[in-house]
Chains A and B, each alone.
Chain A
Amino acid sequence: MTPIAENPTAFAIASAIKVLVFFGVYLVTVALLTLAERKVSAWIQDRHGPNRAGLGGLLQPVADGLKNFMKEEVSPAAGNHIIFTLAPAISFCTAMVSWAVIPFAAPFPTPWGVVDVSIANLPVGFVFTLAIASLGVYGITLAGWSSNNKYSLLGGLRSSAQMISYEISMGLSIIPVLLLTGNVTMDGIVKDQALGGWNILNLSVAFLTFMISAFAETNRLPFDLPEAESELVAGYHTEYSSMKFSMFFIAEFANMLTASGMMATLFLGGWDIPFTTWDNTGDPSVLKTVLTLLSFVFKAGFFLFFYMWIRWTLPRFRYDQLMSLGWRFLLPLSLGYIVLVASVMLALQSAGIGRGVVQTGVLFGINVAVLVAVFVFFDRGRLVGETTGRLSAGELRHVRLRDRAAESRLARAHAEQGKED
């Protein structure tokens, strides 16, 4: 069968249909996620959760949406109205766009050619996602700034610092995947994992650092410092009401959905069904598409659940803990891991071992060793920074002496100035 791209008309029509269907499904899933979040939180807290609207509360997102549309919209008098209106749109759009490159299932056969089950199988694949994800910070920062509210501004600033810090470790943790695959298209990464083993085994450490960074990138607990209800009211969206607020809310869940899809694609083999090569080889068929789609939904769904599970388990990081985790732990770890993976691959290649069971086994062994080192050695008060920036007695004495010296210098300067006057 030929790819549909060889027939321009069919390609255009298929793409238009894909855009409509995928974004429709995306938005409905996001709506259901808001319900799922409330349900999971309720169950974890031994409650029932929303169960009045519709069967078991299924219509709750509709009720919430209606409520948000009906609400009065207030914008701060001293704020910058244009940017204030623009900010939720930026958040919302950037959250949605990166969805376009994730492949959801095996190619779908039609009479006019084989259709990829992703909106765009971009040659730059993952790089596109990174680029769009870093645009998302503008929505939050501008929202915080244009509200002309101290809490909002603090939330916006925190978010820009946080997202820029974690983008680095996110980008670095993906480089081992690219090294292993030799390809940046999402499709290539999925196919490579189907043949050479899932990256969660090959690159467990990269998976871990990517997951932590993804949590920070989506501003979810334990990294929800931009929002931080107990410190900043609601952070960057304190001044937002009605549908504008709702758009930030949707953007958060959309980011979560995209990040889950990314994790499933990059590390859990995307739509690959484990323990069989039936889905990756031979002619495309509708059954294959459906089953691989289910496989993808299951994997992404697990990460979505994990997001919520983590949220209702862990407390928020303090700001300096967040920064030290990002810069002093994740960044060196992912940098060192790139070197490690590159040298192991070089060694294996010179020994004549390519993609396969042996390579996966060696890499997995190394991963286990690194993880044990990290979690046994570093997880002794060194992983997340201390509970406070405590000083040892010696350091404290040093700081005090220095302060006293500075004070007396200042006093002398004042006294001399007084004499001159």
Chain B
Amino acid sequence: MAITVKVLNRPVEEVSYVRATLSGLANTFRHLVDPHKVTTQYPEETEALSKRWRGTHRMLTTEDGKAKCVGCGLCPTVCPANCIKLVPGEDEQGNRFPLVFEIDEFRCIFCGYCQEVCPEEAIHLGRHYENAEFTRDGFVYDLERLTAQTHPVCELWDPADPAGE
């Protein structure tokens, strides 16, 4: 059984190879000499990120340089990927703080729930994507690393302004 190929039944007078080739050559030549190129020359130029871009995390700090985190345990609870490890501690005044706070960025799915759930607005996702490391261990960010990050943070989606304008 032969395979039926669907073809356009154009009138023979309209079918052309030479004219089509010439117009194609003209078209490619226009692009060839067009100085506008679409490539972003990456390391030198970068494209602007969305305000709601969800990249690797950042822990905000108080004025005296300590992490804002109070070790409430909401973020490891809400985390769907189970990538946050939190051991809370308490000092003599009863102030809670994280003894251990680690995020495994390889397990993280960058949903942003931790940022949404945080009562202290401590943990944030960052507007950042240059995360190369030489080892897998490098992707487990501890508290020191999280507070040391300086890149801008993700803005939460505002239901009153869904388009973010």
Cα–Cα distance between A379 and B16 once the two chains are bound (Å): 5
Asked whether, in the complex, the Cβ of B15 is within 8 Å of the Cβ of A48, the reply is no
Contact of B32 with A by CB under 8 A: yes
From residue A376, how far is it (CB to closest CB) to chain B in Å? 9
Within 8 A of B (CB), among A367-408: 375, 379-384, 386-388, 390
The number of inter-chain residue pairs (CB within 8 angstroms) is 59
Contacts of B13 in A (CB 8 A): 380-381
Contacts of A383 in B (CB 8 A): 16-18
Contact of B28 with A by CB under 8 A: yes
Knowing A47-B37, A47-B39, A388-B7, say if A309 contacts B18 (CB, 8 Å).
no
Closest to B26 in A: A313
The interface centre, meaning the residue of B8, B34, B37 with most chain A CB atoms within 10 A of its CB, is B37
Contacts of A46 in B (CB 8 A): 31, 34, 36-39
Contacts of A386 in B (CB 8 A): 15
From residue B11, how far is it (CB to closest CB) to chain A in Å? 8
Cα–Cα distance between A147 and B11 once the two chains are bound (Å): 45
Asked whether, in the complex, the Cβ of B21 is within 8 Å of the Cβ of A313, the reply is yes
Contact of B29 with A by CB under 8 A: yes
Cα–Cα distance between A314 and B25 once the two chains are bound (Å): 8
Contacts of A314 in B (CB 8 A): 21, 24
Asked whether, in the complex, the Cβ of B28 is within 8 Å of the Cβ of A313, the reply is yes
Contact of A44 with B by CB under 8 A: yes
Cα–Cα distance between A148 and B36 once the two chains are bound (Å): 46
Contacts of A44 in B (CB 8 A): 28, 31-32
Cα–Cα distance between A46 and B34 once the two chains are bound (Å): 8
From residue A110, how far is it (CB to closest CB) to chain B in Å? 42
Per-residue 0/1 for B21-55: is the Cβ within 8 Å of any A Cβ (1 yes, 0 no)? 10011011101111011110100000000000000
Contact of A312 with B by CB under 8 A: yes
The interface centre, meaning the residue of B8, B31, B33 with most chain A CB atoms within 10 A of its CB, is B31
Contact of A302 with B by CB under 8 A: no
From residue B40, how far is it (CB to closest CB) to chain A in Å? 10
Asked whether, in the complex, the Cβ of B18 is within 8 Å of the Cβ of A312, the reply is no
Asked whether, in the complex, the Cβ of A379 is within 8 Å of the Cβ of B7, the reply is no
Cα–Cα distance between A122 and B127 once the two chains are bound (Å): 69
From residue A36, how far is it (CB to closest CB) to chain B in Å? 12
Closest to B6 in A: A388
Cα–Cα distance between A379 and B23 once the two chains are bound (Å): 14
Contact of B5 with A by CB under 8 A: yes
Count of residues in B whose CB is under 8 Å from the partner chain: 26
Contact of A43 with B by CB under 8 A: yes
Contact of B12 with A by CB under 8 A: yes
Closest to B40 in A: A48
Contacts of B5 in A (CB 8 A): 388
Asked whether, in the complex, the Cβ of A47 is within 8 Å of the Cβ of B38, the reply is yes
Closest to B9 in A: A390
Knowing A44-B31, A314-B24, A388-B7, say if A379 contacts B41 (CB, 8 Å).
no
From residue A31, how far is it (CB to closest CB) to chain B in Å? 22
Cα–Cα distance between A312 and B25 once the two chains are bound (Å): 9
From residue B103, how far is it (CB to closest CB) to chain A in Å? 34
Contact of B136 with A by CB under 8 A: no
Contacts of B28 in A (CB 8 A): 44, 309, 312-313
Asked whether, in the complex, the Cβ of B41 is within 8 Å of the Cβ of A313, the reply is no
From residue B135, how far is it (CB to closest CB) to chain A in Å? 25
Cα–Cα distance between A6 and B10 once the two chains are bound (Å): 67
Closest to B41 in A: A48
Knowing A46-B31, A309-B25, A309-B29, say if A380 contacts B7 (CB, 8 Å).
no
From residue A116, how far is it (CB to closest CB) to chain B in Å? 36
Asked whether, in the complex, the Cβ of A380 is within 8 Å of the Cβ of B41, the reply is no
Per-residue 0/1 for A280-308: is the Cβ within 8 Å of any B Cβ (1 yes, 0 no)? 00000000000000000000000000000
Closest to B33 in A: A43
Closest 6 CB pairs of A and B: A381-B15, A381-B12, A384-B17, A379-B18, A313-B28, A313-B24
A-B contact pairs, 24 of them (CB 8 A): A40-B32, A43-B31, A44-B31, A45-B31, A46-B34, A46-B36, A46-B37, A47-B38, A47-B39, A48-B37, A48-B41, A309-B25, A309-B32, A313-B25, A314-B24, A380-B12, A380-B16, A381-B13, A381-B15, A383-B16, A383-B17, A386-B15, A387-B7, A388-B5
Report A's interface with B, CB cutoff 8 A: 40, 43-48, 309-310, 312-314, 375, 379-384, 386-388, 390
Supply 5 further A-B pairs (C-beta < 8 A) apart from A46-B38, A375-B18, A379-B19.
A44-B28, A45-B31, A46-B36, A309-B32, A380-B16
